[in-house]
Structure 1
Amino acid sequence: MNLKFRSTIFTALLLGAASINFSASVPDEGMYPLSDLNRAGLKKAGLKINETDIYNPGNIGLVDALVQVSGCSGSFVSPNGLIITNHHCAFSAVQLASTPAFNYLQNGFVAQNQEQEIEAKGLTIRITESYEDVSAKILNAVAHVTDPVERINIIQKKRQELAREAEKKDPSIKAEVSEMFMGKSYVLFHYKTIEDVRLVYIPRQDIGEFGGETDNWVWPRHTGDFSFLRAYVAPDGKSAKYAKTNVPYKPKKHLKVNPNGVNENDFVFILGYPGRTFRHRPAAYIAYQQQYLLPYTSELYDFQNNQMLQAGKDDKATELALATRVKRNANVLKNYRGKLKGLRNIDLIGAKQQEDVELATFIASKPELKAKYATLMQDIDNHYKLVFTDAQKELWMNNLYTGIRSLQLANTIYDFKEALAKQPSEKAKKAFFDGNIDRLKKSLSDVFESFNLQADKNIAAHMFAQAQSFENKNVIQTIVNKNFTSVQQAEDYITGLIANSKVVNQELLLQEVLKDPASLLAYNDGLLGLAAAFSQEFAPFRAELKRREGVLNRLMGDYVAVKEVFQAKNFIPDANSTLRLTYGNIKGYSPVDAVYMSPFTTVKGLLEKGNSGNPEFTFPQAIEQAWLNKNFGPYTKPGTNDVPVNILYNMDTTGGNSGSPIMNAYGELIGVNFDRSYDATINDFAWNEAYSRSIGVDIRYVLWIADKIDNAQFIIKEMGVKN
């Protein structure tokens, strides 16, 4: 790639911030904090309402209709707590509610009235109430701290302290201090939390997941990725756990649905809770992603999924139990492979290296900056050189317990057993056991819900084979100490430990090992012993990683500060799961030479995919019949005599924006965001208008499916849509 072109892209991409007021010179790129809406250029871009109609402190605005649904976004679409989000955002709750006899995941779920709505286990709702900048309070606490571990500990403690103080002042909220820029700016957010969430309308799997992994992160799409939930609270309006006596939550604001949809080039915007982006990092960070984290994780998840899919191949109950793990893994691994493709295509490492060289030259040319930041760039390089020396070990360790669930169970038991053993008397041991055993059993039960013994053995063997080949500072000493002479020995060792442990048998674990304090203290096996050995080995390594985190915290704070001076502007902060706005237009693109992707797909295209023979393109016959009968109702796109399914736009989104409402120039709901194109998976590191496209489900398709396919007209009526 031409260096000038790279530098142009890079300069346009790198944005950052010094305080809670952020601005940017590229209005169509960025995830704007609420405080910066007046600087985002929304009116010039095409917004027909006032910025204050979106957010106006002390008054009701569109942001009051926004919710965070666990790790996704969503929005209220009725005065009775009805929420629209993505099918994949409700997936885990639908999976937990499903059985082979009542397979809601496969067949969908429609509650024709509130009495039929069922608990969405594991889902919670958060609503942003307010926020305040607390950067000074946190940074002043570490102003004279030089030890990196002490620095990071003080920052974490201060963040928790400020959150507790806020909750003490207002017990009705949950508070959280978010790091807007590492080591530089912090904001205290106040959230209302709703614990009782229920499933209302979930389309069947061959609608909500049409295209499966074949189409995941791909355009053109034809996926009905939507679901409806409802928020419930206690009769007094306070948050409460699931109970039959709870009542629907009354939101301050709900979105108006516009059933007419949008056209190409129309102005649109999104509000939501984007997860994490990493655009304000140096070249070495991108090199770490490209060389270590992305390839290792994607390959490991691919192997895990193959084992879990094989385990559930002939057993529907096992397939359902593992479905959420498989889906999450598949989503991440394809995303990571898309990032790898993008990083190589635009040579982002090269662009960042050039930018870092220019920054170092700038620092050296300014005496006042040189006095403060003379070693900054070298210090950053030295930090990452150290990170690279044991990157394999860190990644292996970080995936050990999420990958090998047997070891996760053993580690949980080991930690509890250690805490029990430290109690000073038999009476104290019994009190500790009785007081904590239910919480422990709940934790273990959560693991067993998605546990398969044979798949776990295979994953364990794979990871131990990996570790057996590690060298130098990456070696896992606990495994080295076993003196295995071959990979096969390492594999046989871990699978043997798993096979002979009572920890992996839920019935034996509960009835024998956790029968009482004496039974637990007396129990031991090879798997528990291995968990103990790993715990002892990893403790000093985790301490070293925390020290590095403290070092990086200061370095990144300085890096952004000096870059603001270099580029003479304040930056938009990276996404961090706090409420943001992004805007753009309904727009196609050219991913490769001589190919243009238009921004709308239709039911006709869905049927064409269905004729390909790929089982992931199976669809309900009711869709084909309705299309053949031209039974479209009022949901057609003018000029097509067809129903639009998915839409494409050039807004800046990332993970966490799943379920975000897509709104038109008047703030009306016209779609629901759910994905990005494969080329746009690199958005987490770099955004560019040429290839960054996001994908949503057109509200006309949502209404058509509800009306003509699923007999869920009550949804349309509750949202106030006239048809």
Structure 2
Amino acid sequence: MKAWVLGGAAALSATMIATAAWADEGMWLPRQTQDIAAQVRAAGLEIDPALLSNLQAAPLNAIVSLGGCSASFVSPQGLVATNHHCVQGSLQYNSSPDQDRLTNGFLARRLQDEVRAAPGSRIFVIEELRDVTADMNRGLTARTTGIDRYNRLEENRKSLIAACERQPSRRCDVRAYYGGSTYFLQQQLEIKDVRLVYAPAMGIGNFGGETDNWMWPRHTGDFGFYRAYVAPDGSSADYSEANVPYRPRSHLRIATEGVTDGDFVMVAGFPGTTSRLVTAEEAIFQFDQLYPVQTRLLTDYANLIEQRTEGDQAAQIKYASILAGVENYEKKSQGEIAGAKAIDLAARKTEQQNAYRSWIREGGRRRQPYATAARDLDALVQEANATALADTRLGTINRAQLYAAAKLLYRYAQEQQKPDAERESGYQQRDRLPIQQRLQQIERRYDARVDRAVLEQALVEYRKVDAASRDAAFERTLEQIGLDRLYADTELDETAARLAWLDRPVADFERSTDPFIRLAVASYDWGLRRETEAKTRAGRTQAARSVYLQGMREWADANGRPLYPDANGSLRFTYGKVTGRQRDGLIWTPFTTAEGLLAKHTGEGEFDLPDRAVELIRDRDYGRYVAPSLGTLPVDYLSTVDITNGNSGSATLNARGEFVGLAFDGTLDGVISDWSYDPTINRTIHVDSRFMLWTMDKVDGADRLLEEMGVRR
């Protein structure tokens, strides 16, 4: 663990700071490899550590993003491996009561049998991660604050993105690191034609369901495959029958041997968000006040969907991916609350903060900018905390899909009145196709009866907020329309009607009699005012936090430990070892096995293995996929690698950079690592590549894919 994580590190000797646990912590930027090369080698890496900073070579240039999950190329024909729960939306989109691929799985026996993924599905191939801090800070001074600072940063950001995206089929973004003290531009090739290739039955891909989610022991084959397609000339193109499989610059080699207890492993992917560098006050508020409300709202939401879809298979299919996402975050939030108590997060963060600020005071005038930033940041955190609970309750309204769609359409129309460079991010010309596809997705994920119940539930929470903070125009308009007419008179429940609004002028919206459009128009001014308030605070916060965290980096360097930035959706790598866990009265071995999988099988609900898998396990027909150290077929394994949401689907690599599985989950008490990493409890769960290959080979007969991946010659 790095010095700044240890709490009172300023008072500790160098020997005490240098703990062995440090090597297992960190979501490292590729360029930081040089800072930790000795530690990675000592941990067991066999390839040159410099390869982990090279985006033009394997393994990193085989790592891709799906826009919410991570994935990797595993064949020269653009075959992409990721988690089952990352392809679940496409399984759901391609399912119906008569052809339930969500439950039964899907395998394209031939290339031409591969089906289009859900609208909006993308594969993003990393090409560059470039420092653009100087460009982002152009035009800023110490006196630029509030909305002016926000707008200048946004203007600079959009300019950089526009220049990057002049290259065809590139998707670029500029992300803040260390609170905005550093910025990097991430350039990716955007592959638009994504097809579903293979996913096992739900009884393997989501075995254990919500019951086993975030738990160990785990027995889930959480894997699935997409394929990237491009035009015949190799350029990125929309779906066409003439398109051909993409040929990546490199792909991951499937290891001929699996991992064993104590082996070095690493994970590369696109972790979403962590909050390890926040102040103590932010963490304490989150766990004492905000998380309990958010968790209760998620529980209510999940229960409502289950109740309103019970006995209706079509509705259950429509809401399957939504419900899975809600339940996942609900359970994670519960785990984080419990984890914060278990490690005494409040005391840990306070001790760490006190140590850092003691270092600031010891530096006298030289460190005065950090002291000023600390005071400013503390005041801004109090402001943000004061509005957070109300924002959470008010935001539940957007769960109503047609209302959210109407707001999206009207805001898009408003932004189209401006030059493209001046439009709000998310509503520029580059965003038109993703918006269109979001509107299309509703057709397979919407049921009027369920959506109305969701809105009614949200309105109860909405009205708990003080009237002065609510949207009076929205409330008046909703009262005039009434919920019956809101759903009976709308045309937005038809995909063609939704898409027809996409390029219509503002005046058409303001004349519309569609009840959801009327609601969107009524709520626009209130929403814009709140957005401006949030931007003003964001600009002030960036000014303070960027300086505050620059000081924290200096503090960490003074203790001889480089500081990795919080996760923000950009490419990172992390490493550790395969290992179990022990705590009072409980031992977790690092592997689960096929026999344990069969022992959990009940033939019902979440524990219903396919008949073929049951037969094979009973016969111990594991072929060449047996782990010699176990004497049987491994299913999942634990490691100490440091991941979070967004890492789902990340390739797990051995010391030689070969594919040995997929990261897919953590343990419930370990999810507190989003706020503070603890090596004694932090564990990541991986599906073992041997179980993946066994399922493909023995259960589903995916011979074509195995040959393509080089597993069979």
Same fold per superposition (TM over 0.5):
yes
Q: Specify which of 426, 450, 454 is matched with residue 449 of structure 2.
A: 454
Residues 193-592 of structure 1 aligned to structure 2 (within 5 Å): 193-369=190-366, 371-401=368-398, 403-412=399-408, 414-415=410-411, 444-471=439-466, 474-475=469-470, 477=472, 495-496=483-484, 498-503=486-491, 505-506=493-494, 522-524=511-513, 527-567=516-556, 569-590=561-582, 592=583
- Note if 1:600 corresponds to 2:591: yes
Match of 1:662 in 2: 652
- Structure-2 change in CA distance of 1:515 and 1:113 (3 Å): closer
- Structure-2 change in CA distance of 1:717 and 1:682 (3 Å): same
Note the alpha carbon deviations across 1:324-363, whole angstroms, 9 max, x for none. Answer: 1111111111111111111122121222223333333433
Q: Name the CA distance, whole Å, in 1 between partners of 2:696 and 2:141.
A: 57
- RMSD after superposition: 3.3
- Structure-2 change in CA distance of 1:130 and 1:437 (3 Å): closer
Task: In structure 2, give the amino acid aligned to 1:351.
Answer: R
- Structure-2 change in CA distance of 1:695 and 1:494 (3 Å): farther
Note the alpha carbon deviations across 1:664-694, whole angstroms, 9 max, x for none. Answer: 1111111111111111211211111101100
Task: In structure 2, give the amino acid aligned to 1:688.
Answer: D
- 8 Å Cα contact 1:75/1:83 also seen in 2: yes
- 8 Å Cα contact 1:222/1:646 also seen in 2: yes
Match of 1:702 in 2: 692
Q: Name the CA distance, whole Å, in 2 between partners of 1:493 and 1:450.
A: 25
Match of 1:487 in 2: none
- Note if 1:693 corresponds to 2:670: no
Note the alpha carbon deviations across 1:233-272, whole angstroms, 9 max, x for none. Answer: 1111111111111111111111111242111011111111
Note the alpha carbon deviations across 1:364-418, whole angstroms, 9 max, x for none. Answer: 33322454244333322221222222222212333322x1224224434655787
- 8 Å Cα contact 1:258/1:670 also seen in 2: yes
Match of 1:138 in 2: 136
Task: In structure 2, give the amino acid aligned to 1:449.
Answer: R
Residue 640 of structure 1 and its aligned partner are, at CA, apart by 3.5
The alignment partner of 1:241 has SS state of coil
Task: In structure 2, give the amino acid aligned to 1:586.
Answer: V
- 8 Å Cα contact 1:10/1:352 also seen in 2: no
Match of 1:630 in 2: 620
The alignment partner of 2:24 has SS state of coil
Q: Name the CA distance, whole Å, in 2 between partners of 1:589 and 1:222.
A: 17
Match of 2:609 in 1: 619
Fraction of identical pairs, as percent: 31
Q: Name the CA distance, whole Å, in 2 between partners of 1:293 and 1:447.
A: 30
Task: In structure 2, give the amino acid aligned to 1:625.
Answer: E
Q: Name the CA distance, whole Å, in 2 between partners of 1:324 and 1:289.
A: 27
Q: Name the CA distance, whole Å, in 2 between partners of 1:391 and 1:495.
A: 28
- Structure-2 change in CA distance of 1:413 and 1:497 (3 Å): farther
The alignment partner of 1:390 has SS state of helix
Residue 119 of structure 1 and its aligned partner are, at CA, apart by 1.3
- Structure-2 change in CA distance of 1:375 and 1:70 (3 Å): closer
Task: In structure 1, give the amino acid aligned to 2:308.
Answer: A
TM-score w.r.t. the length of structure 1 is: 0.87
Q: Name the CA distance, whole Å, in 2 between partners of 1:47 and 1:440.
A: 43
Note the alpha carbon deviations across 1:559-585, whole angstroms, 9 max, x for none. Answer: 112223334654111111211111110
Residue 625 of structure 1 and its aligned partner are, at CA, apart by 1.1
- 8 Å Cα contact 1:6/1:347 also seen in 2: no
Task: In structure 2, give the amino acid aligned to 1:615.
Answer: G
Residue 506 of structure 1 and its aligned partner are, at CA, apart by 2.8
Match of 1:488 in 2: none
The alignment partner of 2:465 has SS state of coil
Q: Name the CA distance, whole Å, in 1 between partners of 2:187 and 2:240.
A: 25
- Structure-2 change in CA distance of 1:438 and 1:619 (3 Å): closer
Task: In structure 2, give the amino acid aligned to 1:576.
Answer: N
Q: Name the CA distance, whole Å, in 2 between partners of 1:513 and 1:135.
A: 39
Q: Name the CA distance, whole Å, in 2 between partners of 1:49 and 1:126.
A: 25
The alignment partner of 2:698 has SS state of helix
- Note if 1:30 corresponds to 2:17: no
Q: Specify which of 608, 623, 636 is matched with residue 646 of structure 1.
A: 636
TM-score w.r.t. the length of structure 2 is: 0.88
Task: In structure 2, give the amino acid aligned to 1:556.
Answer: R
Report how many aligned residue pairs link the two structures: 685
Moved more, 74-83 or 506-515: 506-515
- Structure-2 change in CA distance of 1:164 and 1:708 (3 Å): same
- Structure-2 change in CA distance of 1:51 and 1:6 (3 Å): closer
The alignment partner of 1:560 has SS state of helix
- Structure-2 change in CA distance of 1:558 and 1:619 (3 Å): same
- Structure-2 change in CA distance of 1:569 and 1:560 (3 Å): farther
- Structure-2 change in CA distance of 1:147 and 1:237 (3 Å): same
Q: Specify which of 158, 161, 164 is matched with residue 162 of structure 2.
A: 164
Residue 444 of structure 1 and its aligned partner are, at CA, apart by 4.0
- 8 Å Cα contact 1:6/1:351 also seen in 2: no
The alignment partner of 1:711 has SS state of coil
- Structure-2 change in CA distance of 1:457 and 1:665 (3 Å): same
Q: Name the CA distance, whole Å, in 1 between partners of 2:487 and 2:356.
A: 56
- Structure-2 change in CA distance of 1:369 and 1:295 (3 Å): farther
Residue 709 of structure 1 and its aligned partner are, at CA, apart by 0.7
The alignment partner of 2:124 has SS state of strand
- Note if 1:46 corresponds to 2:44: yes
Residue 163 of structure 1 and its aligned partner are, at CA, apart by 2.1
Q: Name the CA distance, whole Å, in 2 between partners of 1:619 and 1:461.
A: 38
- 8 Å Cα contact 1:268/1:586 also seen in 2: yes
- 8 Å Cα contact 1:194/1:240 also seen in 2: yes
Q: Name the CA distance, whole Å, in 1 between partners of 2:693 and 2:205.
A: 14
Q: Name the CA distance, whole Å, in 2 between partners of 1:74 and 1:185.
A: 26
Residue 446 of structure 1 and its aligned partner are, at CA, apart by 3.0
Q: Name the CA distance, whole Å, in 2 between partners of 1:160 and 1:91.
A: 33
Q: Name the CA distance, whole Å, in 2 between partners of 1:215 and 1:695.
A: 12
- 8 Å Cα contact 2:146/2:536 also seen in 1: yes
